[in-house]
Amino acid sequence: MFRHYLTITIRNLRRDLGYSLINILGLGMGIAVSLLLFFWVRHELSFDRFHTDAGRIYQIAFNFPADNGQYDTWTSAPAPFAEKIGEEIPEAEAALFVSFPRQLAFQKDQTPYQEKGLYVDKSFLDVFAFPLLEGRKEGLLHQPGFIVLSEKLAEKHFGAGWRGQAIGKTLEAAEDESYTVSGVVANPPPNSTLQFDFLLSKEDYLSKNPWDSQWGNFSSRLYLKVKNGTDIPGLEDKLIGLFRKYKGNEERATISLLSFPGRHLYSKLENGKPVGGRITYVRLFIGAAAFLLLIACINFMNLATARATRRSREIGVRKVVGASRGQLAGQFMSEALAIALIATGAGIALVELLKEPFRQITGTELSIHYLEPGTLSLILATGLVAGLLSGSYPAFLLSSFRAVNIFRGKEAGQFSGASLRKGLVVLQFLLSACLIVCALGVQRQVKFIMNKNLGLNRENVVRVPMEGPLYDKYPSLKDEISLTGRQAVRCFQSNAIYGQRRDPRPGVGRQGAG
Amino acid sequence: MIRLRDIERYYRNGLRKAWVLNQVNLDIKEGEFVTIMGPSGAGKSTLLNIIGMLEEPSGGSYYFYDEAVHQFNERKRSDLHKAYMGFVFQAYHLIDDLTVYENIETPLLYRNVKGKERKSMVAEILDRFNIVAKKDLFPEQLSGGQQQLVGVARAVISRPRLLLADEPTGNLHTKQGDQIMELFKELNDEGVTIIQVTHSERNASFGTRIIELIDGNIRRDEQLREPSNQADTPKGVPNGK
Ligand SMILES: Nc1ncnc2c1ncn2[C@@H]1O[C@H](COP(=O)(O)OP(=O)(O)O)[C@@H](O)[C@H]1O
Ligand SMILES: [Mg+2]
C-alpha cells in the first residue's frame, strides 16, 4: 500500500514538474528560514547551559539606592568578597573571582600580539566546564605566574604540534613579564558568555591592580555555586550581612543573586531583578519562524488543494473500488508528508546556502550538526508540522465527498474548495503584509540608531590601547601621527568610552579633520 | 439477493420535490443477469447507484441478503459494497497515473490482500482478459474497448457476487461491446449476479431479464430465460467486515 502511495505521489509530481518545483521550493524556503531562526533561538537558549549544574551558578549583583527612589544595580563586586564568602558562608559550594576581560600583549619571536583573557580564582575550572586538554587539574593557577591557554592560543604560540610541547614552557609578555604554561583548555564554545584565550591567577591581578583589593572597589565579577536546595532570598540576606561586616556603612545596599545561565537572555535589570533583554528577540524570532512556516504551509496547502481538485475523479474511483475515507485521507496525508520531506531536504540545502550570510548579518556562528538528536528532531518536527498542516485540508475534506456526486460533476464547485482557497490566499496576503510592515519597522529603528546625532563626531576617530612596546614609545608615536596632517592626539588614563579603569596606561585618540 | 420496497428518490427543487424514482419495487435473485433500459433521465443510473450503495434513497426499504441496508450507517454500507460489489462505468474511470496492472491491483490493496496472492490474482485476470501484453501501459495508451476491458477486470478482481455496470458499452463500437457482453455472460454463468444499464436491445439479449424504467417507475419486467446457474444457497452477510 505504501509503495502504491509512493508511486502515485511520484507520478503526480512528475506530471506537473514546474508546478511541483514551485510547490516544493516554496515550502522549502519557508522551512529553511524558520529552521535558521530556530537554530539561532536554540543557540541563544543554550547559552551557558553546558556547565555542570549550571542552574546552581549565580552571579552576585549589588543594588544601591538611587536618587529617584529606585535602585541602581551593579553586576560587579569587590575582589576580597569572594574569599570571605568561601570562608564564612556554608551554602556556597564555591565563590569565584572572575575579572572582566583584559587584553594582554604576548611576544613570539620579537613580534608582539594581543590576546583577551581573564584573571580568575583557582577553582574556576571546577565550576565552569571548560574541558582541560593538557595539564594537571590540581594547581593549575595556584601560583602567580601560571597561565592556562586556550587551544587556539596554544596553537598560535606553539604551532600545530603544541600537544606535549606547551606545558611548562614560558610565555613572554609585555613589560618583561613572563608566564609559565600550566594547562591548555578547549576553546570556549560560541554559546559561552565567558570568552577567553588565556586564564591568569587572581593573585597576578591583584599584584598588578593593588587598589582592587579594597572593599570599596567593585572591580570584578563574582560567581557563586550554591549547594543543592539553597534558599536564594535567605542567602542574599546573609551575603549582604557579610558584606556590611567588612565594608560597613552600606545600610541600604542589597544583594541580588542572578542566575548565571539566565544572564545572557535577561541582561536588563531593574532594582536588581531581571526584566528582559535578548529574550525579547528570542520570542520575536520564535514568532517570526512560526509565522513564516505558517505562510509557507498555507501556500503549500493551497497548491495541494488545487491539485487534489484535479484528481477528484481519482478519489471517486478509489471510493468505488473500496477505499474507505480513512484510507483516502491517509493517501493524501502521506502524499503531503512525502512532499514535505522533499521540501525539508530542499530546506536543508538552503540552510547550508544561507548559513554564511546569516552569520554575517547576526554575527552568530550557528554550529549545526544534522545528525545530533536535538537537531534531527527539530528538523523532522518542522517537516512533520509542515506536512500535517498542509496535508490536513485536502486529506480530510476531499475524502469526505461522495463518489456519485464526483462522477456527476455535482460537487465540482464545492470540491475545488474555491471559497476556502480564496480565504487562504487572503490570510496569506495579510500575514505577508504584517511581516513586511514589521520588517520595515525594524529597519527604520535600526536606521534611527545608526543616524541619531549623539552630539559627537564618530567619523575618523580611532582608539589605540597602549599595550606592550607602544607604551614606552608613546611620545614618538604621537609625534609621528602629528606629522601626517591636522589631527588631535589625546591620551587618556582610562578607557574613554567605558570610563572603567584599566591598567594605568594612556591610550591614543586620533581625530582627523577630514 | 436484492429486495427493494417502495424505494423513492427525489431532489428538492425549491419547495417542490423533483422525483427521480417513485415507489420502485424490485426483487433480484442471485445468478440473474438483469438489464435496465429506458429513456435518458428515467432514473436508471440512480437506481443502479442505490443498489450499489453509492447513493441513498430518500425513502423505502432495501434488503441485501435480508440485511436492512436502509438502516445501515455509511460505514457499514461501504463495507457491504466493498465485500460484494464491483462497478463498471460508461466512462471507464481508470486512474490515469496508474498502469493497467496497477489499476487492476488497486481494489485488492484496499482489501488487504497480501502481495503474493495479489500478484497471482492479477496475473490470472490479465491472462483471462487477454491483456497481459498491455499490463505496463497507461490508460491513455489504450483504445476505448481495451480500457473498458481493464475496467471490467478491475471490477471483478475482488470476486464480487454482484456486478453493476452503467452503460458499459456506451462508448464502444458494436464489436468491442459484444466482447464485453460475452465476458459478462461468462461471468454470469460462473454465478456472478449482474445488473447492467444499456440502451441497446442487442446487449439486453445477453441477459436473462429486462426491466424498463420510465419516469422513475418500472413499466416492464420481462424474463427472457431462466438464469443458467440458479442461485446456490444464498450466503448470508458475514458479521463485521
Ligand atoms: N443532484 C441532482 N439534483 C437534481 N437532479 C438530479 C440530481 N442528480 C440527478 N438528477 C436528475 O435525476 C434524473 C435521473 O437521473 P439518472 O438516474 O442519471 O438518469 P438516467 O441514468 O436514467 O439517464 C435526471 O433527470 C437528473 O437530471
Ligand atoms: Mg445514466
pLDDT at B235 over 60: no
Q: Is the pLDDT of residue A156 over 80?
A: yes
For B71, the grid coordinates are 438502516
Q: What confidence category does residue A513 fall into, taking pLDDT thresholds of 50, 70 and 90?
A: very low
Residue A180, C-alpha cell as written in the block: 609559565
Give the mean pLDDT of chain A: 83
Give the pLDDT of residue B40: 92
Query: Per the domain annotation, does B191 fall within a domain?
Result: yes
| Pair A175, A122: CB distance under 8 Å | no
Q: Which of A4, A7, A320 sits opposite B54 (nearest CB)?
A: A320
Per DSSP (E only), the strands in chain B are 2-13, 16-28, 33-37, 59-64, 67-68, 85-88, 162-166, 193-197, 209-214, 217-223
Contact B110 A11 (CB under 8 A): no
Q: Provide the CATH number for the domain around residue B179.
A: 3.40.50.300
Q: Is the pLDDT of residue A185 over 90?
A: yes
Q: Residue B202 falls within a domain, yes or no?
A: yes
Q: A15 to chain B: which residues are within 8 Å by CB?
A: 97
Number of independent structural domains in chain B: 1
In a domain, B222, yes or no: yes
Residue A506 pLDDT > 60: no
pLDDT at B238 over 60: no
Decide if B87 contacts B52 (C-beta within 8 A): yes
The strand pair at B33-37 and B193-197 is best described as parallel
Question: Which carries the bigger pLDDT value, residue A221 or residue A472?
Answer: A221
Per-residue pLDDT, averaged over A372-384, amounts to 84
Higher pLDDT, B152 or A250: B152
The predicted structure's pLDDT at residue A469: 66
| B128 domain-assigned | no
Does a structural domain hold residue B113? no
Beta bridge partners of B207: none
- Give per-residue pLDDT as tens, B74-129: 889 888 999 999 999 988 899 999 999 999 999 999 999 999 999 999 999 999 99
Quote the ipTM score.
0.90
* Ligand 1 pocket check for B40: Cβ under 6 Å: yes
Q: Is residue B122 part of a domain?
A: no
Q: Is the pLDDT of residue B177 over 50?
A: yes
Q: Which residue has the cell 529553511?
A: A32
Q: At a CB cut-off of 8 Å and minimum separation 6, what does A182 contact?
A: A135, A136, A139, A140, A141, A146, A147, A148, A167
B47, part of any domain: yes
CA–CA separation, B15 vs B27, rounded Å?
33
pLDDT at A510 over 60: no
Q: Residue A220 has what DSSP assignment?
A: B
pLDDT at A174 over 50: yes
Closest CA to B175 of B197, B142, B143: B143
For chain A, report the end-to-end CA distance as a whole number of angstroms: 76
Q: How many CB atoms lie within 10 A of CB A497?
A: 9
Q: Contact at 8 Å (CB) between B208 and B224?
A: yes
Q: What does the pLDDT look like over A255-288, one tens digit per residue?
A: 999 999 999 999 888 888 888 888 988 898 888 8
User: Of A368, A366, A301, which is closest to residue A340 (Cα–Cα)?
Assistant: A301
- Nearest-atom number in ligand 1 for the CA of B39 is 22
User: For residues A32-43, b (16+ Cβ closer than 10 Å) or e, as one string?
Assistant: bbbbbbbbbbbb
Is the model's pLDDT at B184 over the cut of 60? yes
Q: Is the pLDDT of residue B233 over 70?
A: no
Q: What are phi and psi of B13, to 5 degrees?
A: -125, 85
d(CA A8, CA B105): 13
Q: Of B182, B140, B155, B32, nearest to B88 (Cα)? A: B155
In a domain, B38, yes or no: yes
- When mean pLDDT is compared over A29-43, A153-167, B29-43, the highest value belongs to B29-43
CA distance A424 to chain B (A): 29
| pLDDT at residue A487 in the model | 61
Region of A71 (left: φ > 0; alpha: ψ -120 to 50; beta: rest) is beta
Question: Taking 80 as the threshold, does the pLDDT of residue A501 lie above it?
Answer: no
* Contact list, B75 vs chain A (CB under 8 Å): 324
| More confident of the two residues B230 and A297 | A297
For the cut 50, the answer to whether the pLDDT of residue A117 exceeds it is: yes
- Inform me whether the pLDDT recorded for A47 exceeds 80: yes
In the predicted structure, residue A79 carries a pLDDT above the cut 70: yes
In degrees and rounded to multiples of 5, residue A170 shows phi and psi of -105, 140
- Rounded mean pLDDT of B212-238? 75
The CB of B45 under 6 Å from ligand 1? The reply is: yes
Among B49, B78, B105, beta carbon nearest to A324: B78
Domain with B203 in it = 2-92+160-232
Q: How many CA atoms lie within 13 A of A25 on its CB side?
A: 6
